[in-house]
Chains A and B, each alone.
Chain A
Amino acid sequence: MIDHLLPLLVAVPLLGSALPLFVAARSRTLARWLTLTVLVGQTALAVVLARVVFATASVSYDVGAIPAPFGIGLFADRVTAALALVVAGGALAALLTDHRHRSGPEYALWLLLVAGLSGVVVTADVFNLYVFLEISGLAAYAMVASARGVDPALAALHYLLVGTVGATLYLLGVGYAFVATGTLAMADLSVALAAAGYDSTLVVTAFVLVAVGLSVKMALFPLHAWKPEAYAAATPAVATVLAALGSTVAGYAFLRIVYDVFTVAFFEAVPAVRTLLLVAATTSVVAGGVLALRARDVRRLLAYSSVSQYGLFGVGLALATPLSVTGALVALVGHAVAKGGLFVAVGSVARTHGVRTVEEYAGLADRAPLTAAVVAVLGVSLIGLPPTVGFAGKWYLALGGIEAGSWAVATVVLASTMLSLAYVGRIVERCYLGRADATPPAGVRADGGLPAPATAPVVVLVGAAALVVALGLGSSALAAWFEPVVEGWL
């Protein structure tokens, strides 16, 4: 089985997605358990993959034993393993916190999403990446719409339109690259692109199209507008899984394409592209922060915060030094955990206490002390204060910026702390120092009782908070995990 580990990572959720469709007709609970089991299996596979790449530097696989350039190759190194674990674990945790009794198709979509995301993570073929990107995208659009209602439907439509445009731009870029080189496998592409000449119009256009397409998926400013709508309209668990995983995998894909396909030599040959990326990323950092300051709905606020955080990731990617790329990876993983945890918390209090806007969060610490404490801890990671993983990411990014001589960039990275403080501080201050209204919350059930907070969200919340601190304290180990890959890239 170890030999076929990589395709299993995709096949298990893909085939597993069919099961709930049949089972749900008999019992929705059984469908839920089935889905959870598949996700547990997926997590186990990811752990095994991590152990395998720890022992051997990387693993490759040709699907159907057809070698490139005709076949589809799969590839896993340490970065892949980390992301695969994040995808599997995140989807599992998010589903655990889901309180809705979903229909069979909805569970199927959940597994399809995981299949698509895992596929993006393990693939070594750029067109295959597009396919899995679209699979995960379609699943995501449908999951947003499954919340039923006008707002979710509109948000899903917006998401679909923008996402499809983005994916199409990516496809165009892949097409141009294919025209320039005649191959779609990442390993062969990197050689062939160099041969085709990095500064040729075709190659540069291919890169720009790919970059814009993936920036749409990552929701960098100004291609971000779909994100706040989608996250605010979706059900809490769907918002959680999308926030934690959707853009994370897109970011990973961007990283992989920049450093494994185009390689750092491309940046050296065409410095204008790198500058453009840096400018776009730093703009995103600032714009996302400013937009978050003005947001009233908490989930929209968190979505804008993601725009800012992915800007930081983009900065690390574009600086192209070992420290900055390490910072980008640490920030990517850390953000996935923190943002996922925050959406679980937000969803939990929205359901139990009916609060959705920052104003309504007044006095939440009295009603939901544990959740408020977790929000505070995860917020500290977003701000970037020690000893959380957010600080570690910022440290590497800023250090990388200074070492690369980009003072402006380093300043923006460090100053973003103050922006994040402003919008996170609003929420935390409201929670602890506000006075709650006397009127009963809107989330009261028809029978008049307040639903009790379930155990699963509590476990996930505490786990997220603990993980954020643990990853921070162990950030050196995390960086060391990524080091061989980063060294290979740069």
Chain B
Amino acid sequence: MTDVASPLPLAVVGVPALASVLVLVSRAHPDVREAWTVLASLGTVAVVALLVADDATHVTPLGSLAGVDLALRADAGGLLFALLASTLWVATSLYSVGYVRGLGEVGQTRYFAAFAASIAATMGVALAADLLTLFVFYELLTLATYPLVVHAGDAAARRAGRKYLAYTLGGGVLALTGVLLVQVLADALAFVPGGIAGLSVADPTLARVAFGLLVVGFGVKAAVVPLHAWLPAAMVAPTPVSGLLHAVAVVKSGAFAVYRSVLYVFGPETASDLGVALPLAAVAAATMVLAALVGIRQDNLKRGLAYSTISQLSYIVLGVALLTPLAAFGALLHVVAHAFMKITLFFAAGVIYVETGEKYVSDVAGIGRRLPVTATAFAVGAAGLVGFPLVAGFVSKFHLVAGAAAAPSGVFVAAFLVAGLLKLLYFWPIVYVAFVGRSEGTDPASRHAFAPPHADTRTASGSHVPAVPVAADGSGPHPAVDPGDADSTRDTDRDVAGATGTDSASRWERPRGLETSASLLVPVVFTVGMAVLLGVVPTALPFWELAETAVEEVFG
């Protein structure tokens, strides 16, 4: 694989960045503004696809910052992440349009501009050729996502934003210290598959400190316990933000940075010589189990998904820390699989919120009647995350467990299996409640089996706070502004839902026509379809080959 100088890697970063500016400029024309986002997302996928299709590795030098040469290099691992993020951006752009318009959100220009900027930063993290470039885009990602976290503008959003900044920039300071140490120890920051040569001969204590700093610093974004607390708090952000950014771009950037640090900065041999991989693996295993446990008790749908994300990310970190080709392959596949599955779940949660205004599992009993496609997609995604065959999660988990089986201790296999069981316990109540529960019912099937009831539970008579959806920032009932849909049937549904009925008939009526707007439904179907495709024919998409190439490069 030869390196060839080319502007394409820069284009991958530049297209979303340009889109961000164009969105800001077209604030007065919402349709033009949305067009920029969609066009840019398609353009970015196109450029990444070009890079994937080409055998040569494209490199764009980016000048130098503070004496260190920066560059973007589209190698296999980076392209895997870039392809994933750009594909999901297409889906999320479409979804975002439906979502923000469906809720009548304020600040839509800022939303789309910050979104595009975040994607640009994520592409930069993916394609960074060295630690400093990665760090620069990593911090830019924090800055670009902050406006999205605080989008709602209320006190809770501000608190969440402060927490987010404190954690991620604090992690950034630690990571920067680690980068500086690597520079001092090895005099080189460029990623080398298998590790930078200078580190293997450097002072072991300092090298361990550098490893620790890098892993902890990047581990904040990868939501490794105990650095995870920002993620559930950040769920106050709009659902597409939570979905793409906090289940895909931001947290995956953290996991990806850990992947780069362990395998491309230190390398498998040095890492095992220094004895630092085992502690990392232990922390990851603990995170997997602990987060899954906490998630079971969450009634708030998005918070529960946040804990699930924390747990699943540690699958990736553990896969990397096991330092075997099989485990690393599983980790890379899981980056992709988890992204598709988790974003499906978030999309579904968002549809539920737009259509019904509900955020808690207990309040959406029987939603399968009202939103059959959405709920089915949720169930499929959940099954994949648990590890059922025919969905993407099975393939990646299989390789992860196989990789763990080769490790000296069997405790990691046990951790995977226990976490899988806990996942089942987490998802099953939700799926059950959604399909079997009844919305005004008081039977056990209509309540979340394990979670304590949330603050504003129903009144004794079974009537509920108005089901007319209220936007997150407290603005009034949203107008029906969905672009392409037969509105009459949905209005009827909403009227039925809006009745503070004392009758015991279900709130949810079967929809006539599409259950929600097309721009919300199509992305859900797309992502769950991709998850199934990856589960049934894993090699159909380039991800498999890219992961294989990356693992080959690192382990030889």
Check B177 against A385 for contact (C-beta < 8 Å).
Answer: no
In the bound complex, CA of A399 to CA of B185 (Å): 11
Q: What number of A residues sit within 8 Å (CB to CB) of B? A: 31
Does the CB pair A476–B177 fall under 8 Å?
Answer: no
Query: Any chain A CB within 8 A of the CB of B240?
Result: no
Question: A474 vs B64: C-alpha distance in the bound complex, in angstroms?
Answer: 7
CB <8 Å contact, B169 and A414 = no
Q: Which 4 A-B pairs have the closest CB atoms?
A: A386-B136, A476-B64, A395-B66, A392-B66
Determine if A417 and B180 form an interchain contact, defined as CB atoms under 8 angstroms apart.
Answer: no
- Given A399-B180, A418-B170, check contact A472 B65 (CB 8 Å): yes
- Measured CB to CB, the closest approach of chain B to A79, in angstroms, equals 18
Offer 24 A-B interface pairs, CB within 8 angstroms, sorted by A. A385-B139, A385-B169, A385-B172, A386-B140, A387-B65, A391-B66, A396-B66, A399-B183, A402-B180, A410-B177, A411-B177, A417-B172, A418-B166, A418-B173, A425-B162, A432-B150, A433-B150, A472-B65, A473-B65, A474-B63, A475-B66, A475-B67, A476-B63, A476-B67
Residues of chain B lying within 8 A (CB to CB) of residue A383: 169
Task: Give Cα A268–Cα B165 distance, bound, in whole angstroms.
Answer: 42
Question: Interface 1/0s, chain A 393-407, versus B by CB < 8 A?
Answer: 001101100110000
Q: What residue in chain B is nearest A330 (Cβ atoms)?
A: B66
Q: A401's closest neighbor in chain B, by CB?
A: B180
The answer to whether A63 has its CB under 8 Å from any CB of chain B is no
Instruction: Report the bound CA distance from A418 to B167 in whole Å.
Output: 10
Q: Quick check: is A479 within 8 A (CB to CB) of the other chain?
A: yes
Q: Tell me the minimal C-beta distance from B106 to chain A in angstroms.
A: 11
By a beta-carbon cutoff of 8 Å, the part of chain A in contact with chain B is 330, 380, 383, 385-387, 391-392, 395-396, 398-399, 402-403, 410-411, 414-415, 417-418, 421, 425, 429, 432-433, 472-476, 479
Taking a contact as CB atoms under 8 Å apart, the answer to whether A403 and B184 are in contact is: yes
Which residue of the partner chain A has the closest CB to B107? A432
- Closest CB in chain A relative to B43 CB, distance in Å: 24
Give the distance in Å from the alpha carbon of A417 to the alpha carbon of B176 in the complex: 11
Contacts of B181 in A (CB 8 A): 402
Q: Is the interface of B mostly helix, strand, loop or mixed?
A: helix
Q: Which of B65, B140, B157, B183 has the most CB of A within 10 A?
A: B65
| Pairwise interchain contact A398-B143, C-beta atoms closer than 8 A | no
Chain A residues with CB below 8 A from B150, complex form: 429, 432-433
Taking CB atoms, residues of chain B closer than 8 Å to A417 are 169, 172-173, 176
**CB within 8 Å of A: which B228-258 residues:** none
Tell me how many residues of B have a C-beta within 8 Å of chain A.
Answer: 30
**Would A398 and B64 count as touching, CB distance under 8 A?**
no
Q: CA of A195 to CA of B139 in the docked complex: distance in angstroms?
A: 51
Interface contacts beyond A392-B66, A414-B173, A418-B166: sample of 6 additional A-B pairs, CB < 8 Å, sorted by A: A380-B143, A386-B139, A392-B65, A399-B184, A417-B172, A432-B150
Chain B nearest Cβ from A418, distance in angstroms: 6
Question: Smallest Cβ distance from A407 to chain B, in angstroms?
Answer: 10
Q: Does B381 contact A (CB under 8 A)?
A: no
Which chain B residues lie closer than 8 Å to A415 at the CB level?
173
B110 to chain A, nearest CB (A): 9
Tell me if B165 and A421 are in contact (CB < 8 A): yes
- State in angstroms the CA–CA spacing of A473 and B140 once bound together: 14
For A394, give the chain B residue with the smallest CB separation: B176
The answer for the CA separation of A433 and B153 in the assembled complex, in Å, is 6
Contacts of B170 in A (CB 8 A): 418
User: Is the CB of B158 closer than 8 A to any CB of chain A?
Assistant: yes
A386 touching B180 by the CB < 8 A rule?
no
Q: How far is the CA of A396 from the CA of B68 in the complex (A)?
A: 11
B9 at the A/B interface (Cβ < 8 Å)? no
Task: Find out whether the CB atom of B143 lies under 8 angstroms from the CB atom of A385.
Answer: yes
Say whether B14 faces chain A, with CB atoms less than 8 Å apart.
no
Q: Chain A residues near B403: list those with CB within 8 A.
A: none
CB distance from B124 to the nearest CB of A (A): 11
B304 close to A (CB within 8 Å): no
Task: Tell me whether B437 is interfacial, beta carbon within 8 Å.
Answer: no
Find the A residue at minimum CB distance from B150: A433
Q: How far is the CB of A16 from chain B (nearest CB, A)?
A: 38
Are A429 and B161 interface neighbours, CB within 8 A? yes
Within B397-448, which residues are at the interface with A (CB < 8 Å)? none
Nearest chain A CB to B60 CB, angstrom units = 15
Q: Is B135 an interface residue (CB 8 A)?
A: yes
CB-defined contacts of B169 to chain A, threshold 8 Å? 383, 385, 417-418, 421
Alpha-carbon distance A97/B161, docked complex (angstroms): 34
Q: A417-B169, A425-B165 are in contact. Are A432 and B176 (CB under 8 A)?
A: no
Residue of B with least CB distance to A420: B169
Once bound together, how far apart are the Cα atoms of A396 and B165, in whole Å?
24
Within 8 A of A (CB), among B92-145: 135-136, 139-140, 143
A473 to chain B, nearest CB (A): 7
Among A429, A433, A473, chain B packs the most CB atoms within 10 A around the CB of A433
B147 within 8 A of A: yes
- Is the beta-carbon distance between A386 and B165 smaller than 8 angstroms? no
Partner of A398, one of B65, B139, B172, B177: B177
In the assembled complex, the CB of B71 is this many whole angstroms from the nearest CB of chain A, namely 13
CB distance from B10 to the nearest CB of A (A): 14
Across the interface, B158 reaches (CB within 8 A) one of A398, A410, A411, A433, namely A433
In the bound assembly, the distance between CA atoms of A425 and B146 in angstroms comes to: 11
Query: Which residue of chain B has its CB nearest to the CB of A425?
Result: B165
Contact status A410-B180, CB under 8 Å: yes
Question: B497 CB to closest chain A CB, in angstroms?
Answer: 32
Are A432 and B180 closer than 8 Å at their CB atoms? no
- Do A402 and B140 form a contact, CB below 8 Å, given A425-B165, A429-B161, A476-B64? no
Q: How far is the CA of A383 from the CA of B142 in the complex (A)?
A: 13
Most buried by A among B63, B166, B177: B177
Q: Which residues of A contact B161 (CB under 8 A)?
A: 429, 433
Q: A395-B180, A417-B173 are in contact. Are A432 and B66 (CB under 8 A)?
A: no
**Is A479's CB under 8 angstroms from B176's CB?**
no
